[in-house]
Structure 1
Amino acid sequence: MSSARVKTLWVILALLPVPVLWCFLFESGSLNRARDWSMDLRYRIRGPVTTEAKVVYVDIDSLSMSKIGNFPWSRAYLAKVARTLIEEAGVKVVGVDLVLSDAGLAESADINYIVQGNRELAAYLWNDPPVVLASSFSAQVSTDINGNLIYRQLPRVAGELPPIHEIEGPEVPAIRVVPGQPPYSPGSTGLIDTEDRGVRRVPLWAPTDVRTYYHLSVEMLRRYWDLDIDGVRVDGDRLLFVRPDGEVLRSVPMLRGQMLELNWFSKWDSPDHNPRISFYDVYAYASALETDDPEVVATGEAFFAQEQFKDALVLIGPVDPLLQDLATTPLDENAVPKVGVHGNALKTILAEKYIRRLDTWQIYVVVVLFSVLVATLAIWGGHRSALARLVAVLLVLGYVGLSLWLFGSQHLVLPLVTPVGSALSMTFLAIGWQVVQEQKAKGRIKGMFGTYLAPTVVESMINSGKDPELGGHDAEITPYFSDIQSFSSFSEVLTSSQLGELLNEYLTACTDIIQAEGGTLDKYIGDAVVAMFGAPVDLADHAYKACLTALLVQQRLDELRAKWTAEGDKWPDMVHRMRTRIGLNTGKCMIGNMGSRTRFNYTMMGDNVNLAARMESGAKAWGAFTMVADTTRVACEQHGGDRIVFRRLGRITVQGRSQPVPIHEVTGLREQVSDRTLECLALFDQGLEKYYARDWEGAAALFKRSAELEPLIPGQAPGVKANPSLVYQKIVAETAAKPPPPDWDGVYHMTSK
């Protein structure tokens, strides 16, 4: 196995805590909201599912409230509707999604009116028709007949149950038929609670100190199949519906030994899947049967003869928004009546389309294996790395698609959020590690080639992913040339080790400043430094940066001379007096990779490059240490304002050029130049004007005065042999002795490079 493969293996092993963490989050319930969202996604992609289960809803809706009136209603309405549906329409079971207790009665309610209705309902229920009323633990606090507080909470079988005699029963129907006497409580009741008041899971049963209570859907199905109370049994994680002869009609899987996870079959507002009728309409047609008008009776009979009623399970429940029994569902983004919970519970059991899930240990295996596989493919190296990454992406997409398909076709919930989240997290971390390793590799490339190429060029080469090619293009830049004054004499005095140490320290200082200011090192030629500003990285203020760099290099050399002097006899006197000259020019140059196809260098060429070199070599003739062409001064002032102080030195022609070039000395930074120096520059400029005006005496006098104020004076400043004022004193003397012709334009012609 290659070293790269071994590294990949170690990375995957090091990241195994990631899927373990996701498994912990899954187990702790921290991902429940995301899991619910993924379930909703499954339902909405799957769409509605048709079943043969006949569930009809009788809505206590706005029409009913407007016709009959606001609650509380006389329970005689309920008795008439339930009796007619069963006896006339052939409905098998009626379930009521209302807890008929006295807790909701207002003090202003007409007790006699309520009691009369209760008597009619009680009289009907006395013969135990297939009507199931609601009971609930959701009323957290209520009072008994003596006014004592009763605390109710759904007993969770999966938790630590208190002793059975301490488990308070749910709130059950209370049908008071005699004022002041205990109410009548029918036996056929079912729970309407849901887990955490949601719509995803319902408790199929709950133990209490009175008896075992079953869910409304369970009680309705018990009556639907005409089973005794013993026909419903809890067997571990299963709820069984068993005939007296032992035939198991349904074996319902339960989560945590109690909960049924609902399978939602359609949106609420789906007439084909959820036939709905107004409670008032049913009541009105039931009343029609009691009239003496044969035509009215026939209308009622026709209504109840509808096929949808035959052998159906009917749920009577509140749907009017004012009754506030609403919630969103996996298929309904807007809140809909929660009576649909019980209808879908009935359909889930009747159709036996149970939601199936993997065991916890199976989920953990899927999470770990899937995460490891995806992360490994994502960072797989070699010539097939791109294919491996593509397979990783397809694997994630395929897994998501598989989970959606299995749910739609098999009602099997393949974990989605935990394995995908774990796989992506592990992959991102693995890729992050890979990026770090690649950056280290790039760093090694920079370390190898950065000594030969400018770091910006190396970076550009790495980022482009392409091999360097021959060729160049024109761009405006500022070439930079520097050379140590009289360096050839250094080699006569210094040993080779001393020369190397000195040169390395000097070149390091120069290079650091150049690159810090955005310049690109081109090459070293012995003690000479060649650089460019404005390429390959564009710099709008390249001229200003170049001038600033020149000043910073001169300042750094001042510091080095002080350091070398402080080192005593280590260095000879010429090192203590070492000076460097710098030349700059700004203009169009050709830049790019020049050389052979196997060995080349990123460099610059052109007339403006040559002129920059002439600025450096020509600076000696003018007693200056940093000399620039006028194009550099203009471009510098355009971006740097007056921060850089220039001294006009005149106009020259260099060897190989016929056109005169205005030249300038870079004197210093405005904030560092003293008043004495500024006065010197002013006198010098006046002397230059006198010189051009052929006023030799006036020019000589002014240059003499400026010479006394020069910042660098021979004999005082180390390594200084001349300065511009002294140079012009000599020029003026020579010109006065041998005056130029009348057409003289003041241009000085340089005859050497």
Structure 2
Amino acid sequence: MNRKRLKSLGLVVALLPVPLLWCVLFSMGGLNRARDWSMDLRFWLRGELEAPVKVVYVDIDSKAIDAKEIGGWPWSRHYFATVARTLIEEAGVKVVGIDIVLSDSGVAEIADLEKLIAGNREFGRYLHSDQPVVLAASFSGNQFRDVNGNLYRRELPRLSDGLPPIDQIEGPEVPNFMVGHRAPPYAPGGVGLIDTDFGGTRRVPLWAPTNVRTYFHLSIEILRRYWDVGDFGVKVNGDVLEFVSEDGQLLHSVPMLDGQMLEVNWFSKWNSSAQNPRISFADVYAYAHLLTSGDEVSEASAREFFAQDDFKDAIVLIGPVDPLLQDLAPTPLDPEPVPKVGVHGNVIKTIASGIYLQRLPPWQIYSIVFGLTIVVSVMSSWGGGSSGLARLLAILLMLGYLYLSIHWFIDNHLVLPMVTPVGSALSTTLLAVGWQAMREQKAKGRIKGMFGTYLAPMVVESMVESGRDPELGGHDAEITAYFSDIQSFSAFSEVLTSSQLGELLNEYLTACTDIIQAEGGTLDKYIGDAVVAMFGAPVDLENHAYKACLTSQLVQVRLDELRQKWISEGDKWPALVHQMRTRIGLNTGDCMIGNMGSRTRFNYTMMGDNVNLAARMESGAKSWGSFNMVTEATRDACEKHGGDRIVFRPLGRIIVKGRSKPVPIFDIVGLRENLSADTFKCIDLFQQGMAHYYRRDWAGAAERFQQSATLEPVQPGRDLGVKSTPSLVYRGIVAEMERNPPPADWDGVYVMTEK
């Protein structure tokens, strides 16, 4: 693992307080709203479930409230008695639940007490016979005064908040009926809580301890009667509520959160006609009244109404749906508020089906948060060449986890944490990537400030990308070394002032450097007028030899343009400047590349025998009348990657000073697209001359070299600064061979005596 990746990993470790903060927010309920949103999304994607029991809703709606035969609200208990009795005895309903606390404590003074008492007695007598009717009780946070005038507040006792002593827990508001002017009120026994957790629709308390007795939820009391479980057949056993038969057999167990709460598994939307058949209370009462009307047609119509299959063995919930009764709230499947009586229906379906929402224990949630955060943030801030793939995998991992969270909820009703781990992973990743970007920018600025003035920009970028500070040392790599030098530059300082010399050099060196770097080369150094560069390091270039050869020709073209510019400037420059020529030498091979120097001052450079050979190509070019001389290794590598665009001609084999083996050398004539037909004829004649030369046919060689000399692309006397050409050089060598023939074992190799 490289240093940059280790730094990324260390940064992620330093940011571990971020997922810790998310876990704290989760445990303290700070993410509840976002958590609820993610649950709503899962319910919406899952859709509706088939109900395990029939639940029919009898609506206390505006139609019922406005019905003349019933009268204004609050109603006489007579209407509840009539509807409940008829649904059970005539329609075959198994249990009726009423989602309104039927208490006379708030009866208005203008109420008809005689009518009220009569209705209460009727309903009381019916309930006293142990009918399958469950009335509502509620804590609902209201205040009341006892017989002594002391003010008390009813609040749902939550086990998660810690319970006070049992004798201090006031009971809920329960139904009580005034049955006489002086008689004590009647309190029916079949009641169940209609409270929800903080008034919402997601969780309900299945039971609550009080100083009177233990109260169970309305849905529990309804199912107890639906399953014919005895009065003492519902028990709390730790985090499980159990339905037990009279002989002690476990019939059904309900898991609870915090030992008290049930998370509702919503089966359908409120307006789902297939899942939630609904009938107005007014219609049920009207048909119930028709059963005793004495009219055969009306009674037959009523019997047909109560014979419909929706009622048979069903559970009926009577509850308020009119908005004026203010018992509405949104649900996971209903973003707009709907009647809360639907909560009890879905609790009943949840328990009857046994399909409970499963949640992980806190330690598993925290493990997922830290695990996903670490993996995603490490992959997102991963450095090196595989960083792009790592970031893609991080995105796929996040999407995969979200898919898994939804898929497992739909198939297994398992609630994997979504908001906390995803939020933690994203925020930690953003911080890590942002911190890393700032750190890299700071490092880049520091390195550029230290080295940008004397290192090539690509070298600086390479240092930044590597994530390492510059240090001493190097490595072997194949490159093409580039050396150039101005012809007879020592004479320039004799005819130019220092300011002129500086201006001239700056313009020339800028042109050379721009071309080198534009073609992917790296400037090594300037040595006076000499330019030293490398192709293939520190940025890898597969075609470095071709790029170096191309650069040499572009530099020569640019120098032609500069000469014309200097000439056009009149007397500003002496004639010597108008004749400026540069010689370039190239060689390709393995070299030592790296930072060389002292620990306080060093330079990114190249070293080795192949570098020295490139320098010999530049200095030796003068002896061969060439301005661009390269080795065979450079020629071969160039043609491999650049085809025949660069035109070479062989200049023979030489042994440079300091080496013992001969080196084939070549002259770069130019770019193929820029050469004339005479130039190609010149090359052909020159190669014929070389063939005669190696055969010791001095006369034949001299003739060919004489012919090629007249076709050379540059000519002494015609072109400024040109003093010789390869054809002229070899014509002179052949003349010397004629005067002093070589020994019998001569192999055509020319030994250089100068650098």
Q: Which residue of 2 aligns with 1:322?
A: 324
Q: Which residue of 2 aligns with 1:64?
A: 64
Shift of 1:113: 1.9
Name the SS for the 1:252 alignment partner.
strand
Q: d(CA) in 2 for partners of 1:364 and 1:616? A: 82
Shift of 1:9: 2.7
Q: d(CA) in 2 for partners of 1:351 and 1:606? A: 90
**Shift in CA distance, 617/490, structure 1 to aligned 2, threshold 3 Å:** closer
Shift of 1:433: 3.0
Shift of 1:604: 12
Q: Which residue of 2 aligns with 1:196?
A: 198
**Shift in CA distance, 433/529, structure 1 to aligned 2, threshold 3 Å:** farther
Q: d(CA) in 2 for partners of 1:311 and 1:118? A: 27
User: In the alignment, is the contact (CA less than 8 A) between 1:191 and 1:216 conserved in 2?
Assistant: yes
Q: 2:123 aligns with which of 110, 117, 121?
A: 121
Trace 1:646-685 onto structure 2 (pairs within 5 A): none
Letter of the aligned partner of 2:301 in structure 1? Answer: T
Q: Which residue of 2 aligns with 1:283?
A: 285
User: In the alignment, is the contact (CA less than 8 A) between 1:92 and 1:313 conserved in 2?
Assistant: yes
User: In the alignment, is the contact (CA less than 8 A) between 2:191 and 2:221 conserved in 1?
Assistant: yes
Name the SS for the 1:409 alignment partner.
helix
Letter of the aligned partner of 1:94 in structure 2? Answer: V
**Shift in CA distance, 324/609, structure 1 to aligned 2, threshold 3 Å:** farther
**Shift in CA distance, 594/113, structure 1 to aligned 2, threshold 3 Å:** farther
2:51 is the counterpart of 1:35: no
Trace 1:153-172 onto structure 2 (pairs within 5 A): 153-172=155-174
Q: d(CA) in 2 for partners of 1:198 and 1:605? A: 86
Q: 1:302 aligns with which of 284, 301, 304?
A: 304
User: In the alignment, is the contact (CA less than 8 A) between 1:205 and 1:213 conserved in 2?
Assistant: yes
Residues 411-461 of structure 1 show CA distances to partners (whole Å, capped at 9, x for unaligned) of: 1100000110111112112212332343245336634773269999999x9
Gaps of 5+ in 2: 466-495, 515-546, 574-755
Q: d(CA) in 1 for partners of 2:117 and 2:174? A: 17
2:227 is the counterpart of 1:233: no
Q: Which residue of 2 aligns with 1:336?
A: 338
Q: 2:91 aligns with which of 89, 92, 97?
A: 89
Shift of 1:144: 3.8
Q: d(CA) in 2 for partners of 1:609 and 1:100? A: 109
Q: d(CA) in 1 for partners of 2:381 and 2:549? A: 38
Q: d(CA) in 2 for partners of 1:147 and 1:524? A: 106
**Shift in CA distance, 150/526, structure 1 to aligned 2, threshold 3 Å:** same
Q: 2:136 aligns with which of 122, 134, 137?
A: 134
2:26 is the counterpart of 1:12: no
Between 1:393-402 and 1:7-16, the stretch displaced more is 7-16
Shift of 1:524: 6.8
User: In the alignment, is the contact (CA less than 8 A) between 1:264 and 1:330 conserved in 2?
Assistant: yes
Trace 1:141-540 onto structure 2 (pairs within 5 A): 141-144=143-146, 147-440=149-442, 442-443=444-445, 446-447=448-449, 450-451=452-453, 488=498
Name the SS for the 1:309 alignment partner.
coil
Name the SS for the 1:20 alignment partner.
helix
Identical-residue share of aligned pairs (%)? 58
User: In the alignment, is the contact (CA less than 8 A) between 1:594 and 1:600 conserved in 2?
Assistant: no
Q: d(CA) in 1 for partners of 2:172 and 2:570? A: 100
Q: d(CA) in 2 for partners of 1:615 and 1:296? A: 124
Trace 1:572-583 onto structure 2 (pairs within 5 A): none
**Shift in CA distance, 2/298, structure 1 to aligned 2, threshold 3 Å:** same
User: In the alignment, is the contact (CA less than 8 A) between 2:440 and 2:464 conserved in 1?
Assistant: no
2:551 is the counterpart of 1:597: yes
**Shift in CA distance, 302/444, structure 1 to aligned 2, threshold 3 Å:** same
Trace 1:93-112 onto structure 2 (pairs within 5 A): 93-112=95-114
Q: d(CA) in 1 for partners of 2:58 and 2:430? A: 53
Q: d(CA) in 1 for partners of 2:26 and 2:497? A: 74
Letter of the aligned partner of 2:204 in structure 1? Answer: V
Q: d(CA) in 2 for partners of 1:100 and 1:180? A: 20
Shift of 1:2: 2.9
Q: Which residue of 2 aligns with 1:732?
A: none
> How many residues in Structure 1 have an aligned counterpart in Structure 2?
509
User: In the alignment, is the contact (CA less than 8 A) between 2:141 and 2:156 conserved in 1?
Assistant: no
**Shift in CA distance, 527/404, structure 1 to aligned 2, threshold 3 Å:** closer
Name the SS for the 1:229 alignment partner.
coil
Q: Which residue of 2 aligns with 1:48?
A: 48
User: In the alignment, is the contact (CA less than 8 A) between 1:82 and 1:131 conserved in 2?
Assistant: yes
Q: Which residue of 2 aligns with 1:25?
A: 25
Letter of the aligned partner of 2:19 in structure 1? Answer: P
Shift of 1:334: 0.8
User: In the alignment, is the contact (CA less than 8 A) between 2:48 and 2:267 conserved in 1?
Assistant: yes
Name the SS for the 1:403 alignment partner.
helix
Q: d(CA) in 1 for partners of 2:363 and 2:44? A: 28
Name the SS for the 2:66 alignment partner.
helix
Name the SS for the 2:235 alignment partner.
strand
Shift of 1:223: 1.2
**Shift in CA distance, 144/617, structure 1 to aligned 2, threshold 3 Å:** farther
User: In the alignment, is the contact (CA less than 8 A) between 1:326 and 1:337 conserved in 2?
Assistant: yes
Shift of 1:606: 7.8
User: In the alignment, is the contact (CA less than 8 A) between 2:290 and 2:298 conserved in 1?
Assistant: yes
User: In the alignment, is the contact (CA less than 8 A) between 1:85 and 1:304 conserved in 2?
Assistant: yes
Name the SS for the 1:158 alignment partner.
helix
Q: Which residue of 2 aligns with 1:2?
A: 2
Q: What is the TM-score of this pair, normalised by structure 2?
A: 0.62
Letter of the aligned partner of 1:108 in structure 2? Answer: I
Gaps of 5+ in 1: 464-485, 492-522, 536-592, 619-753
User: In the alignment, is the contact (CA less than 8 A) between 2:58 and 2:281 conserved in 1?
Assistant: yes
User: In the alignment, is the contact (CA less than 8 A) between 1:60 and 1:316 conserved in 2?
Assistant: yes
**Shift in CA distance, 121/447, structure 1 to aligned 2, threshold 3 Å:** same
**Shift in CA distance, 529/145, structure 1 to aligned 2, threshold 3 Å:** farther
User: In the alignment, is the contact (CA less than 8 A) between 1:103 and 1:142 conserved in 2?
Assistant: no
Letter of the aligned partner of 2:26 in structure 1? Answer: F
Shift of 1:232: 0.3
User: In the alignment, is the contact (CA less than 8 A) between 2:35 and 2:419 conserved in 1?
Assistant: yes
User: In the alignment, is the contact (CA less than 8 A) between 2:329 and 2:339 conserved in 1?
Assistant: yes
**Shift in CA distance, 489/443, structure 1 to aligned 2, threshold 3 Å:** closer
User: In the alignment, is the contact (CA less than 8 A) between 2:55 and 2:277 conserved in 1?
Assistant: yes
**Shift in CA distance, 123/369, structure 1 to aligned 2, threshold 3 Å:** same
Name the SS for the 1:103 alignment partner.
coil
Residues 170-200 of structure 1 show CA distances to partners (whole Å, capped at 9, x for unaligned) of: 0000111112443100011000001111111
User: In the alignment, is the contact (CA less than 8 A) between 1:524 and 1:530 conserved in 2?
Assistant: no
Q: d(CA) in 1 for partners of 2:377 and 2:252? A: 44
Letter of the aligned partner of 1:216 in structure 2? Answer: L
Q: d(CA) in 1 for partners of 2:140 and 2:570? A: 93
Residues 608-655 of structure 1 show CA distances to partners (whole Å, capped at 9, x for unaligned) of: 99699969979xxxxxxxxxxxxxxxxxxxxxxxxxxxxxxxxxxxxx
**Shift in CA distance, 611/102, structure 1 to aligned 2, threshold 3 Å:** farther
Q: d(CA) in 2 for partners of 1:231 and 1:164? A: 22
Q: d(CA) in 2 for partners of 1:420 and 1:599? A: 58
Shift of 1:15: 1.9
Trace 1:559-638 onto structure 2 (pairs within 5 A): 597=551
Q: d(CA) in 2 for partners of 1:143 and 1:599? A: 105
Q: d(CA) in 1 for partners of 2:166 and 2:8? A: 57
Q: d(CA) in 2 for partners of 1:264 and 1:425? A: 32
Shift of 1:599: 11
**Shift in CA distance, 269/595, structure 1 to aligned 2, threshold 3 Å:** same
